[in-house]
């Protein structure tokens, strides 16, 4: 395993690149030297143009920054909404009914009500709505499917 640090590896690669580029740099040197006298002249002529561009670009940049700020606010609000929705979906919920010697999970009662309905010859895909009424004093739960079919299931001890 190579125990060199990333910085050491980068330095080694940089040296290799510098060595490989050396012949090209040597060939370019005369051209760079010929261009040097013109660099100051080009800079002098370019400065007013650059300044003019900066002045003209400033309002556009300002407007873009404002738009970015608004977009950032919208993105933050969306992020909060998504976080809340995700928390609701990821929250595990369990509701128990405790009475005398019984403890039943409400989701188990709903499953049992559906199973009882299906056992009576109905099809699960027919269930559009189900209401379950838990009556601990009867040790039972009563259900109504699609506001029409009714049934009763007992609690298991």
pLDDT tens by residue, 116-157 = 999 999 998 999 999 999 988 888 899 999 999 999 998 765
Report the pLDDT value the prediction gives residue 25, as an integer from 0 to 100: 83
Report the pLDDT value the prediction gives residue 39, as an integer from 0 to 100: 79
Strand partners, 103: 98
**Six-digit token pair at 70?**
């608004």
85 half-sphere exposure, CB direction, 13 A CA radius: 6
Give the model confidence (pLDDT) of 51-98 as tens digits: 888 888 888 888 877 777 777 777 788 777 777 776 666 677 788 888
Q: Are 98 and 114 in contact (CB under 8 A)?
A: no
Report the pLDDT value the prediction gives residue 147, as an integer from 0 to 100: 93
Strand partners, 99: 102
- Of 103 and 151, which is predicted with more confidence? 151
Which own/partner contact pairs does 121-127 have at CB distance under 8 Å and 24+ positions apart?
122/149
Q: Return d(Cα 42, Cα 60) in angstroms, integer.
A: 27
Report the pLDDT value the prediction gives residue 6, as an integer from 0 to 100: 80
Residue 113 predicted with pLDDT over 90? yes
Phi, psi of 100 (to 5 degrees): 50, -120
Report the pLDDT value the prediction gives residue 88, as an integer from 0 to 100: 64
Q: Are 135 and 142 in contact (CB under 8 A)?
A: yes
């Amino acid at each position: 395993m190579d125990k060199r640090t990333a910085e050491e590896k980068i330095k080694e690669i940089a040296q290799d690149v510098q060595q490989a580029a050396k012949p090209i740099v040597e060939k370019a040197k005369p051209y760079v030297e010929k261009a040097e006298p013109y660099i100051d002249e080009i800079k002098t002529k370019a400065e007013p143009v650059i300044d003019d561009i900066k002045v003209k670009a400033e309002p556009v940049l300002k407007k873009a920054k404002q738009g970015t700020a608004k977009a950032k606010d919208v993105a933050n609000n969306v992020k909060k909404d998504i976080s809340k929705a995700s928390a609701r979906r990821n929250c595990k919920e369990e509701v128990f009914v405790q009475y005398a010697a019984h403890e039943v999970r409400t989701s188990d009662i709903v499953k049992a009500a559906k199973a009882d309905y299906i056992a009576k010859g109905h099809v699960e895909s027919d269930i559009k709505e189900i209401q379950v009424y838990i009556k601990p004093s009867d040790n039972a739960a009563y259900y109504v499917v699609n506001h029409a079919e009714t049934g009763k299931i007992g609690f298991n001890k």
